[in-house]
Chains A and B, each alone.
Chain A
Amino acid sequence: MGQIIQYIQSYRHSDLTPGAAGNMFWALVYIMLVFVGLSVAVIAMNWLERKILAHMQVRLGPMRVGPHGLLQPIADAIKLLLKEDIMPAEADALIFWVAPFVVVLAAFTVFVVVPFGPTHAITDMNIGILFMLGVSSLSVLGIVMAGWASNSHYPLIGALRSSAQMVSYEVAMGLAVVSAILMTSLNADGTGTLSMIGIVQAQQAQHEWFIFKFFPLGLLAFFIFAVAMVAETNRAPFDLAEAESELTAGFHTEYSGFRWSLFFLAEYSAMIAVSSIAVTLWLGGWLRPFPNLLSNSTWDLVFSLFPGITFLFFAAICFYNAARMPKHPLFRIQTVGLAGFGAVLGLIGLILFIPAVSIRVQDIFWFAAKVAGFMYMYIWYRGTFPRYRFDQLMHMGWKVLLPMGLGVLVLTASVALLQEKLWHP
């Protein structure tokens, strides 16, 4: 027993991630935390997407289940779990069963290397970014499996579209990623890194987020990635794999109940995964804004207040809307519920003001805030852009993004070489 406690405590004050330190207990704890956090994020995204889209289209969105529809995702989840699990008679049983799990596994496994902070990652791999790209490209395999195994036309067309789209956009995405990795090698000993934590540390060491590096080259690479990542996750305006107007629901037409919800879960966690790649590579990962420029203790204190203030702001919104609830007796439960939810958020906010807590969570906060920005953009795209036609999609991928990516890569390499030759002979 004492040995176990000693083993658990041996990780404290370590400046490595639990995986890199080889501590199984804390690695397991981190895996559970990431899993729970992701599930909560997917539930929140479900509600937010419907609400934000509705408000963009001057509708109200879900309003019935819970105050302002806050319990709608839970009601949906219960509905999905209680639904009958149907398999088409002519379907290929084994592949039909396995496909959703492949997609979910691929979408969740990538979070092994996502750095929420210098030590807040499950593990730090030497090949971090390569691992993320590789494993997330496995998810399309599950999509094709689902489409083929359903033995039906719409899913098959959806799956074929999805695979063609992934193969085309992965090229441009890879080029953009390579040009960012190239920037990590601009240090004294000239070796770059593929490790996710190493990439963020390189940005810290170079006093510059890579999006601003070699302006506008970093920005262009980021733009290519930002377009390609929407296509990779099959989201609007590139959601041809599940275009409702043409293919009913695309590759998951034949799925229902729990299996369908797995596809849903995988889609949203894949969105979070690619957003965290973008945040890590170009937006400084867990670094707060201006970590070097405004680096005295006053600014440290100011920025450490942000997590608490954010939660207090959410709590204030809840209280404001609770006060605005109709004063009818039928709405009393909803009013109390919303105020209670606000109270919980406010309590979290107050806890985050404790210095010991805020120092430990602020890198996670900044990472999550940047990813949340991307998630909002996803919803915004969906509310704004019309869906691309398939030939337009291919045109965009091969004739616009790919040459642009090649150009950015070559220019980045040349500028880096010039800088090395001119300023550091």
Chain B
Amino acid sequence: MAPVATPFFFYLLSGIMLIGGILVITRKNPVHSALALIVTLLAQASIYLMLYAPFVAGVQIILYAGGIMVLFLFVIMLVSIDRSVKERQFNSQWIVGMIAATALGGLFIAVFMKGKNIFPEHALPVIENDNTQNVATMLYGQYMFAFEIASLLLLVAIIGAVVMAKKRI
């Protein structure tokens, strides 16, 4: 079978991701930002597919489609779009932002230059067709405790939201 993960697709998808990401922070209309965000996340899901992690890609699509839906509803219900479009976009912490971005960029460049020593190259340890099964054995075997704690955290968040939203319980 011919490899799907050609460099062309990688650059295409990362280009889409970058453009989407830039649109998310530059659009004045929050609905447009939300749509740009989902474009970014879908491109990211495709990159997961290229990395032979179909399960992660599928979950990414399902979760973020639902997540963006809720974001959409928040925007429609809570944000006054007419006003927010006219409003000047504020960014009063650009010095901190610059420093953080430079540090992150420096880190990426360093990993790119010296990456071969940090992450040794080797063949893919698992084949694509076992991806889902491997994720399952990892989550419910080796990392069972961490997984359960994470789900407990989510449960607390859900109960908290219900308690805060409901007047009479």
Question: Which A residues lie at the B interface, using CB under 8 A?
Answer: 21-22, 92, 95, 125-127, 130-131, 133-135, 137-138, 140-141, 144-145, 148, 156, 160, 163-164, 166-167, 170, 191, 194
Contacts and interface: CB of A to CB of B under 8 A. Distances in A.
Contacts of A167: 66, 69-70
A127 B55 contact: yes
B62 A130 contact: yes
B61 interface: yes
Contact of B61 (A95, A126, A135, A160): A135
Contact of A141 (B32, B65, B76): B65
Contacts of A125: 54
20 contacts: A92-B29, A95-B32, A95-B35, A126-B129, A126-B131, A127-B55, A131-B58, A134-B59, A137-B61, A138-B61, A141-B38, A141-B68, A144-B73, A145-B35, A148-B76, A163-B73, A166-B69, A167-B69, A167-B70, A170-B66
Interface string B124-165: 000011011100000000000000000000000000000000
A29 B62 CA distance: 29
Contacts of A194: 55, 132
Nearest to A106: B65
A296 B95 CA distance: 79
B137 to A, nearest CB: 9
- Which 7 residue pairs spanning A and B have beta carbons closest together? A134-B61, A130-B58, A22-B1, A134-B62, A127-B58, A127-B54, A137-B65
Given A131-B54, A134-B65, 17 more contacts: A126-B129, A127-B131, A130-B58, A131-B61, A133-B62, A134-B58, A137-B62, A138-B61, A140-B65, A141-B65, A144-B73, A148-B76, A156-B76, A160-B73, A160-B76, A163-B69, A191-B133
Nearest to A20: B1
B64 to A, nearest CB: 9
Central interface residue in B38, B76, B131, by most chain A CB within 10 Å? B76
Contacts, number: 70
Given A144-B72, A194-B132, A126 B31 contact: no
Nearest to B55: A127
B17 interface: no
Nearest to A144: B72
B61 A22 contact: no
B96 interface: no
Contacts of A138: 61, 65
B66 to A, nearest CB: 6
Contacts of B57: 127
A166 B61 CA distance: 15
- Counting contact residues on chain B (CB < 8 A from A), the size range is 20 to 34
Nearest to A133: B62
A22 B2 contact: yes
Contacts of A133: 62
Contact of B54 (A126, A135, A140, A148): A126
Q: Is the interface of A mostly helix, strand, loop or mixed?
A: helix
Given A134-B65, A166-B69, A95 B128 contact: no
A126 B73 CA distance: 33
A166 B66 CA distance: 9
Contacts of B69: 140-141, 144, 163, 166-167
Contacts of A140: 65, 69
Contact of B72 (A22, A127, A163): A163
A368 to B, nearest CB: 26
Contacts of A145: 35
A148 B30 CA distance: 12
B28 to A, nearest CB: 13
A128 B131 CA distance: 13
Interface in B1-51: 1-2, 29, 31-32, 35, 38
Contacts of B76: 148, 156, 160
A130 B48 CA distance: 15
Contacts of A164: 73
Contacts of A163: 69, 72-73
Contact of B31 (A22, A95, A130): A95
A419 B29 CA distance: 56
Contacts of A137: 61-62, 65-66
Contacts of B65: 134, 137-138, 140-141
B132 A126 contact: yes
Contacts of B38: 141
Nearest to A24: B2
Interface string B70-113: 10110010000000000000000000000000000000000000
A22 B29 CA distance: 43
Contacts of A92: 29, 31
Contacts of A166: 69
A135 B38 CA distance: 13
Nearest to B2: A22
Nearest to A159: B76
A404 B87 CA distance: 48
A130 B62 CA distance: 8
